[in-house]
Amino acid sequence: MAFAALLAFTNWRWGLSLFLVAGLLQDPARKLVPGQPVYFVLLAGAVFGAAWLGAGLSRVRLGPSAMEGWRRYMGTPFALFVALVLLQAFHSYARFGSVQMTGIGLMVWLAPVFAVVLAYQFAVRRGLPALRRWMKLYVVLALLALSGVYLQYEGVEWPVLGEVGKGLTIYDVGTVLKAYSGFFRSSEIAAWHTATAAALLFILFTGRRLNFLRLLAALALIGVLVALGILTGRRKMLVEVVIFLSLYFFLVAWFQRGAHRLAVGLAVVGLAGWFAVVGFVDPDPGERPDTANYQLAPGERYKGYAVRGSTVFQDAPERFSQLGVRPIAFIVERAGWMGAGVGSASQGVASDEAAALNRGAAEGGLGKITLELGVPGLLLVLWLFWSLARYVRAALAVTVQLSRPHARVAFALVALLAAKVASFSVAAQAYSDIFILLLLGSFTGFVLAMPVMARKALAAREAAQAERAALLARQAAPAGLRLPGRMA
pLDDT at 437: 94
Confidence label for 169 from pLDDT (cuts 50, 70 and 90):
low
Q: Where are the alpha helices (DSSP H) in 156-293?
A: 187-206, 212-229, 236-254, 260-280
What one-character-per-residue DSSP string does 13-30 give? HHHHHHHHHHHHHHHHHH
Tens digit of each residue's pLDDT (9 = 90 or more) over 124-139: 999 999 999 999 999 9
Confidence label for 304 from pLDDT (cuts 50, 70 and 90):
low
pLDDT at 293: 44
pLDDT at 294: 44
pLDDT at 5: 92
Minimal CA–CA distance to 62: which of 117, 108, 2?
A: 117
Structural contact between residues 406 and 203, judged by C-beta atoms closer than 8 angstroms = no
Averaged pLDDT, 85-89: 93
Mean pLDDT over each residue of the chain, to the nearest integer: 81
Q: How far apart are CA 31 and CA 160, in angstroms?
A: 6
Backbone φ, ψ for residue 39 (5° rounding): -65, -15
Q: How far apart are CA 404 and CA 399, in angstroms?
A: 8
pLDDT at 235: 73
Return the SS3 of 300.
helix
pLDDT at 57: 93
* More confident call, 346 vs 306: 346
pLDDT at 276: 43
SS3 content of the chain, % helix, strand, coil (to 5): 75, 0, 20
Minimal CA–CA distance to 342: which of 105, 82, 111?
A: 105
Tens digit of each residue's pLDDT (9 = 90 or more) over 251-286: 888 776 555 565 566 555 555 544 444 333 333 334
Averaged pLDDT, 154-175: 74
> Has residue 344 got a pLDDT over 90?
no
Structural contact between residues 12 and 30, judged by C-beta atoms closer than 8 angstroms = no
Structural contact between residues 190 and 388, judged by C-beta atoms closer than 8 angstroms = no
* Residues in CB range of 100: below 8 A, 6 or more apart: 349
> Has residue 166 got a pLDDT over 60?
yes
> Has residue 21 got a pLDDT over 90?
yes
Structural contact between residues 331 and 364, judged by C-beta atoms closer than 8 angstroms = no
Averaged pLDDT, 432-458: 94
Residues of the chain with pLDDT > 70, as a percent, come to 77
> Has residue 463 got a pLDDT over 60?
yes
Residues of the chain with pLDDT > 90, as a percent, come to 41
pLDDT at 134: 96
Confidence label for 13 from pLDDT (cuts 50, 70 and 90):
very high
The 8-class DSSP code of residue 487 comes to T
Weakest mean pLDDT among 48-62, 375-389, 469-483 = 469-483
Q: How far apart are CA 349 and CA 241, in angstroms?
A: 31
* More confident call, 118 vs 104: 118
> Has residue 380 got a pLDDT over 90?
yes
* More confident call, 484 vs 363: 363
How many C-beta atoms lie closer than 10 Å to residue 415's C-beta? 23
Minimal CA–CA distance to 320: which of 429, 426, 427, 431?
A: 426
> Has residue 342 got a pLDDT over 60?
yes
> Has residue 31 got a pLDDT over 80?
yes
pLDDT at 426: 75
Q: How many angstroms separate the Cα of 229 from the Cα of each of 78, 127, 163, 270, 437?
A: 36, 32, 15, 22, 21
Minimal CA–CA distance to 150: which of 34, 61, 228?
A: 228
Tens digit of each residue's pLDDT (9 = 90 or more) over 210-260: 667 777 888 888 888 888 888 887 777 888 888 888 888 888 887 765 555
Q: Where are the alpha helices (DSSP H) in 255-364?
A: 260-280, 298-310, 312-320, 326-335, 352-358
